[in-house]
Chains A and B, each alone.
Chain A
Amino acid sequence: MSHHNLNTLTAVELGELLAAGEISSVALTQACLDRIESVDPGVKAFLSVDREDALSQARASDERRAAGQPLGPLDGIPIALKDIVAVTGQPLTCASKMLENFVSPYDATAVHKLKEAGAVLFGRLNMDEFAMGSSTENSAFGRTSNPWDLDRVPGGSSGGSAASVAAAETVLSLGSDTGGSIRQPAAFCGTVGLKPTYGRISRYGLVAFASSLDQIGPFTRCVEDAAMFLDAACGHDPKDSTSLPGLETNFLEGMKNHRDRPWKIGVPKEFFAEGLDPEVRASVESAIQFYKESGCTVEEVSLPHSSYAVPVYYILATAEASSNLARYDGIRYGHRSSEATDGIDLYYKSRGEGFGEEVKRRIMLGTYVLSSGYYDAYYLKAQKVRSLIRKDFDDAFSKVDCLIGPATPTVAFRAGEKTDDPLSMYLSDVYTISANLAGLPAMSLPCGMSSDGCPIGLQVISPVLQEAEMLAVAKRFEEAHPYSGIVAPSNGKAGSAS
């Protein structure tokens, strides 16, 4: 096997090479850093990269291996991080002016666990400010481009995470998904992106957007890499009360146990309604056909409250966000206005200057829906509908093992296309939001390319805690299709690098 493009291989492949002593983590990490140097001026996935720190982690990994004490399959594998998880001594900006100069004094639990697994954690990946957006155009530090077509958005909010994997600037990346912020950019950039069951991965150290919806997950080049990430990052955390107790699972092994099952697959009819791009529909339908041919039963199911998912989400997520983001006041840390005349003015000016437009819009929306006199009509009503959406899934999963459908209604749109129309931007998450509302595991994997060379994502949604089966479902499709390990061309024009 040629070692020229180490950064384009999967973590599983690289793990074998590292274990066999054929490559070093330093070489692999250097390959990623070199790639960043050559393509990131165009892609702009990274807000910053601490190269020295990355290489010193890689050296430590090589030393462990030399001493015969590797920490696990991820030891020495580079994982780039969305700029929303806390890493001791590294910037934590959330792509916001508010935290432009903030450096975290502590590690997120997921970061701690990945460090313990030996991964080389590096880089601060661009995102929509405080994870609010679907295109990474809401970053205070400039937009990230889709590596398949630099004029297009990579999706969001974890756009940097998706783009960095697609452009082979890292092997894996970490993102977060509140309403689709992993699956939508994964679909737009042609990577695997997985949001685990709510509570699988600790949220401690993940900067909160909407606490009841946020979940950390991986971007990878193949399904098994996602399983490896979960193996390292999942687990109960006493520092997060919403973290699920008593679950120790080996997903990489677990997904193999599921591989030959003749699944009953549900196709939600609401996911194929108005607004679905014909090319996306065709690609997803051919994936459905593949599952039929592979021995699965496919039946149409209904999620009757799906149409409420987007409004319910924008009530609950903004309500929580309005409170979660109250701490950014310029008093203890973060941006403090130099213009303020008194205490109250300090709040107005610091927050007014520190937050971008979309963040302000959502804080105002959330403040409004929680206000006395409106609480019952908005927040409380939305909570009730959220229960109905959950029940829709319970009903569906009483008949089928998992659901498949499109991850997004369209392929990646052009930069600037939706920035003046928040509602149409919000609708790009129409298929992903309900899994967050129901706390379900869901993932996106590449299932085809559009005629103008943009990746198309297939979404799999599974019942709570059934990640292993979900991975197996995805793996069957991946094995039979030539999209595994696709890497976007560095010139930013559509095409396959294989």
Chain B
Amino acid sequence: MKYEAVIGLEVHVQLKTNSKMFTSVPHGFGNEPNRLIDPVVMALPGSLPVINREAVAKSIQVGMLLGCDIAEVCKWDRKNYFYPDSPKNYQISQYDQPLCLNGLVEIELAGPSRSEEGPHRKVKLTRIHLEEDVGKLTHFEQDSLVDYNRAGTPLIEIVTEPDIYSADEAFAFLTALRRILVYAGISDCDMEKGQLRCDANISIRPVGTTTLGTKVELKNLNSISGVRNGVAYEIARQNQVLAEGGSLVQETRRWDADRNMTTSMRTKEEAHDYRYFPDPDLMPVSVSEEWKAELAKDLPEVPFDRQRRYQQEFDLPYSSASVLISDRMLADFFESAVEFGGSPALLANFVVNDLTRELSSGDEGVDLSNCKVQPQGLSELVKLVEENVISNQIAREVLGEMLKSGGNPRDIVKEKGLEQSSDEGELEALCREAIAANEKAVNQYREGNAKAINAVKGFVMKATKGKANPKVVNDLIERLVNE
């Protein structure tokens, strides 16, 4: 029997806000333990939570970006359970009325090759709710230590429907989701810092059936590729268990990236009764149409819409468009340069090929926002190419200089005498010289080896240090050898 996998994901994302969810203390990663605390974080007697409006706003924006239905009222519930990482021994969360319901995340699967676009589809979401993160426990042989720096960090939980059908789709989902959230400034989504965390519910069922099989909850998926590898392993494991005539048990398993396998954490789900009830310390927050309209103004175009627009409006190939939209800064840079003028195709080439390479090989800490080439400069450079002042090849050289000195491309070209030569008289003499010096190649060309003529062209370009207009040189040589 052939089986298909059905996967649902639960993704936790820490919001990038100035302060914690219910108090004014900032949150962040990498501080000395128990520095980001106050009476509220530590749940001292008498302390009270106050809603961080920025966190609610950002959560509403996530819902808008993902096409969710946004609740009219943002209501708070207490989830009661005892654990030392939870200072109040209850977590303020949302139970029966999540801030966002439904919604879709568009994903793109891998194409036949890197330069070819793969299929797109939309994964259904169940809900998104806002809550607070817990602290961090570190266990030793005798003792356990607890650090409350993370406790109270605004956290959204994004729950998908069981609407993901392979490890690659799970990977594509997280990639797409993370990109949207980073684009909109919702979160930095750094999995290493725990800003994005993901659990997967995985089951398999005979192809053609609709009921869900026995569910395994997979934890400890600490990177996006960990999600892909862990889910793939688990699907394969479940298939193997059934193929060997065994049966699956509902359990929680842990992905062990070092050993590249999943291991059982617990088989019997403890019957948790969280005793949810509305938090009497917090007033529900009304989500008005005005507020939503205000928040909608700050929403970016989502990455795949951008990708489509680049392909249609600028006629960019998928290979360029997909690289540009992979990073909002890159795409914004590109669009800004387009506005200053210049061929979008040329600009895209420079951004995708040259600029990114220069930046990744350059000094640490230099990125698009602070590098010496800004959109206007790149636009100027491309205009020089379009005006036949310099060739593509020379433009690369100029760009290198611009990145070093921060100069204006026209000045650099002038200073260094890099203008392209299109003077036919001057070039004709040079071409005649080249033909004479490459007699053998010319003969081969005349005998039908079209490529042989490149040696002649190369001679001219070398003699002009690349400044000769390649088209003019081409035409001249063409004419002269056929004289």
Nearest CB of A to B53, in Å = 11
Asked whether, in the complex, the Cβ of B46 is within 8 Å of the Cβ of A329, the reply is no
Interface majority SS on A: helix, strand, loop or mixed?
Answer: loop
A471 part of interface (Cβ distance < 8 Å): no
- Which B residues touch A323, using CB under 8 A? 78, 80, 90, 275, 277
**Stretch of B226-234, B279-287, B309-317, B467-475 lying at the A interface:** B279-287
B51 part of interface (Cβ distance < 8 Å): yes
Nearest CB of B to A401, in Å = 29
A327 part of interface (Cβ distance < 8 Å): yes
**Stretch of A54-62, A271-279, A370-378 lying at the B interface:** A370-378
Interface majority SS on B: helix, strand, loop or mixed?
Answer: loop
B21-46 to A contact mask, C-beta < 8 Å, 1/0: 00000000000000000010011111
The 8 Å CB contact of A367, one of B49, B275, B281, is B275
- Which A residues touch B90, using CB under 8 A? 323, 326
Asked whether, in the complex, the Cβ of A102 is within 8 Å of the Cβ of B45, the reply is yes
Nearest CB of B to A390, in Å = 15
Asked whether, in the complex, the Cβ of A331 is within 8 Å of the Cβ of B47, the reply is no
Which residues of A in the span 313-351 have a Cβ within 8 Å of any Cβ on B?
319-320, 322-323, 326-329, 331-333, 343, 347
Nearest CB of B to A464, in Å = 16
- Which A residues touch B49, using CB under 8 A? 241
A207-236 to B contact mask, C-beta < 8 Å, 1/0: 110111000000000000000000000000
Asked whether, in the complex, the Cβ of A332 is within 8 Å of the Cβ of B281, the reply is no
The 8 Å CB contact of A86, one of B46, B89, B281, is B46
How far, in angstroms, from A86 to B84 measured CA to CA in the complex? 24
The 8 Å CB contact of B275, one of A92, A347, A372, is A372
- Which A residues touch B82, using CB under 8 A? 326, 329, 347
Asked whether, in the complex, the Cβ of A212 is within 8 Å of the Cβ of B84, the reply is no
Q: Which residue of A lies closest to B274 (CB)?
A: A372
Asked whether, in the complex, the Cβ of B280 is within 8 Å of the Cβ of A211, the reply is yes
- Interchain pairs with CB closer than 8 A, number: 95
B88 part of interface (Cβ distance < 8 Å): yes
Asked whether, in the complex, the Cβ of A239 is within 8 Å of the Cβ of B48, the reply is yes
B87 part of interface (Cβ distance < 8 Å): yes
Asked whether, in the complex, the Cβ of B87 is within 8 Å of the Cβ of A241, the reply is no
A302 part of interface (Cβ distance < 8 Å): no
Nearest CB of B to A394, in Å = 20
How far, in angstroms, from A375 to B273 measured CA to CA in the complex? 11
The 8 Å CB contact of B280, one of A94, A99, A320, A333, is A320
How far, in angstroms, from A242 to B49 measured CA to CA in the complex? 10
Nearest CB of B to A439, in Å = 12
Asked whether, in the complex, the Cβ of A104 is within 8 Å of the Cβ of B44, the reply is yes
Which residues of B in the span 225-268 have a Cβ within 8 Å of any Cβ on A?
none
- Which B residues touch A72, using CB under 8 A? none
Asked whether, in the complex, the Cβ of A326 is within 8 Å of the Cβ of B89, the reply is yes
Nearest CB of A to B327, in Å = 39
Asked whether, in the complex, the Cβ of A371 is within 8 Å of the Cβ of B275, the reply is yes
How far, in angstroms, from A146 to B25 measured CA to CA in the complex? 45
Given A206-B46, A323-B277, A343 contacting B39 (CB threshold 8 A): no
Asked whether, in the complex, the Cβ of B46 is within 8 Å of the Cβ of A241, the reply is no
Which residues of A in the span 194-210 have a Cβ within 8 Å of any Cβ on B?
203-208, 210
A379 part of interface (Cβ distance < 8 Å): yes
Q: Which residue of B lies closest to A96 (CB)?
A: B45
Interface size on A (CB < 8 Å)? Answer: 43
How far, in angstroms, from A443 to B60 measured CA to CA in the complex? 44
Asked whether, in the complex, the Cβ of B283 is within 8 Å of the Cβ of A327, the reply is no
Asked whether, in the complex, the Cβ of B51 is within 8 Å of the Cβ of A241, the reply is yes
How far, in angstroms, from A379 to B46 measured CA to CA in the complex? 24
Nearest CB of B to A233, in Å = 15
Asked whether, in the complex, the Cβ of A379 is within 8 Å of the Cβ of B50, the reply is no
Asked whether, in the complex, the Cβ of B89 is within 8 Å of the Cβ of A105, the reply is no
Asked whether, in the complex, the Cβ of A94 is within 8 Å of the Cβ of B45, the reply is yes
Asked whether, in the complex, the Cβ of B46 is within 8 Å of the Cβ of A205, the reply is yes
Which residues of A in the span 121-170 have a Cβ within 8 Å of any Cβ on B?
none
Asked whether, in the complex, the Cβ of B277 is within 8 Å of the Cβ of A241, the reply is no
- Which B residues touch A371, using CB under 8 A? 273, 275
How far, in angstroms, from A398 to B51 measured CA to CA in the complex? 35
Asked whether, in the complex, the Cβ of A319 is within 8 Å of the Cβ of B281, the reply is no
Nearest CB of B to A132, in Å = 14
The 8 Å CB contact of B89, one of A104, A206, A327, is A327
How far, in angstroms, from A405 to B89 measured CA to CA in the complex? 41
Q: Quick one: which of A94, A102, A203, A332 has the most chain B CB within 10 A? A: A332
Nearest CB of A to B340, in Å = 46
A238 part of interface (Cβ distance < 8 Å): yes
Given A323-B90, A343-B84, A208 contacting B46 (CB threshold 8 A): yes
A415 part of interface (Cβ distance < 8 Å): no
- Which A residues touch B43, using CB under 8 A? 327, 332
A85 part of interface (Cβ distance < 8 Å): yes
Nearest CB of B to A468, in Å = 25
How far, in angstroms, from A375 to B281 measured CA to CA in the complex? 19
Asked whether, in the complex, the Cβ of B44 is within 8 Å of the Cβ of A99, the reply is no
Nearest CB of B to A315, in Å = 11
How far, in angstroms, from A372 to B272 measured CA to CA in the complex? 10
B144 part of interface (Cβ distance < 8 Å): yes
- Which A residues touch B282, using CB under 8 A? 241
How far, in angstroms, from A176 to B263 measured CA to CA in the complex? 53
Q: Which residue of B lies closest to A106 (CB)?
A: B39
Q: Which residue of B lies closest to A372 (CB)?
A: B273
B312-341 to A contact mask, C-beta < 8 Å, 1/0: 000000000000000000000000000000
Asked whether, in the complex, the Cβ of B280 is within 8 Å of the Cβ of A92, the reply is no
B345 part of interface (Cβ distance < 8 Å): no
A240 part of interface (Cβ distance < 8 Å): yes
Asked whether, in the complex, the Cβ of B87 is within 8 Å of the Cβ of A207, the reply is no
Asked whether, in the complex, the Cβ of A375 is within 8 Å of the Cβ of B277, the reply is yes
- Which A residues touch B273, using CB under 8 A? 371-372
Q: Which residue of B lies closest to A366 (CB)?
A: B275
Given A239-B50, A241-B51, A211 contacting B275 (CB threshold 8 A): no
Which residues of B in the span 169-203 have a Cβ within 8 Å of any Cβ on A?
none
Nearest CB of A to B222, in Å = 25
A233-268 to B contact mask, C-beta < 8 Å, 1/0: 000001111100000000000000000000000000
Asked whether, in the complex, the Cβ of A104 is within 8 Å of the Cβ of B45, the reply is yes
The 8 Å CB contact of A242, one of B44, B47, B275, B283, is B283
A108 part of interface (Cβ distance < 8 Å): yes
B368 part of interface (Cβ distance < 8 Å): no
Asked whether, in the complex, the Cβ of B88 is within 8 Å of the Cβ of A207, the reply is no
Asked whether, in the complex, the Cβ of A106 is within 8 Å of the Cβ of B44, the reply is yes
How far, in angstroms, from A259 to B7 measured CA to CA in the complex? 71
Given A205-B46, A371-B273, A211 contacting B146 (CB threshold 8 A): no
- Which B residues touch A86, using CB under 8 A? 44-46
How far, in angstroms, from A250 to B284 measured CA to CA in the complex? 30
How far, in angstroms, from A92 to B48 measured CA to CA in the complex? 16
Q: Which residue of A lies closest to B148 (CB)?
A: A332
Nearest CB of A to B52, in Å = 11
- Which A residues touch B281, using CB under 8 A? 208, 211, 241-242
- Which A residues touch B280, using CB under 8 A? 210-212, 242, 320
- Which A residues touch B277, using CB under 8 A? 319, 323, 370, 375, 379
Nearest CB of B to A485, in Å = 33
How far, in angstroms, from A369 to B89 measured CA to CA in the complex? 18
Asked whether, in the complex, the Cβ of A333 is within 8 Å of the Cβ of B84, the reply is no
Q: Which residue of A lies closest to B45 (CB)?
A: A207
How far, in angstroms, from A392 to B426 measured CA to CA in the complex? 104
Nearest CB of A to B282, in Å = 5
Nearest CB of A to B20, in Å = 14
How far, in angstroms, from A104 to B89 measured CA to CA in the complex? 20
Nearest first, the 10 A-B pairs at minimum CB distance are A326-B89, A370-B275, A212-B280, A211-B280, A205-B46, A327-B43, A207-B45, A86-B46, A207-B46, A372-B273
A/B interface sample: 12 pairs, CB < 8 A:
A86-B44, A86-B45, A203-B48, A208-B48, A241-B282, A319-B277, A326-B89, A327-B87, A329-B84, A333-B42, A367-B275, A375-B275
Apart from A203-B48, A323-B78: 5 A-B pairs, beta carbons within 8 A: A210-B280, A331-B84, A370-B276, A372-B273, A375-B277
